[in-house]
Amino acid sequence: MDYKFLNKVVNQIVSETRVNGETGRIKTLFRHLSYSFALHFQLPWGDSTSGMLQNNVILSSFSRHCKEVYGLDNDEVGYVWDKYVQIIRDKINNG
């Protein structure tokens, strides 16, 4: 994997993500809906069946976006997803 390129992809997607602490929502280019911070970034993934299903919808949209826009394969999408979630969680937790 070309980690230098993948880290640039992560940074680009993070820069396109809008975090609104006042409303407790985030907006992304890969999903046209807003999502609650508590449901999608503060709880560990897969804590509940409902949360897991919602996360699968987000991950599916994220994966499609990364493949169509950046030409990534499944392993690269996994790497980018993990880094993206970590950064967004840090932004939420640190204000």
Residue 16 has pLDDT above 60, yes or no: yes
pLDDT at 88: 83
80 near 6, Cβ under 8 Å?
Answer: yes
Task: Write down the mean pLDDT value for the chain.
Answer: 76
pLDDT at 49: 42
7 near 79, Cβ under 8 Å?
Answer: no
Q: Whole-prediction pTM value?
A: 0.76
How many domains in the chain? 1
C-alpha–C-alpha distance, residues 86 and 95, integer Å: 14
9 CB-near residues (< 8 Å, 6+ apart): 66, 70, 72, 80
Give the structural domain span for 27.
Answer: 3-94
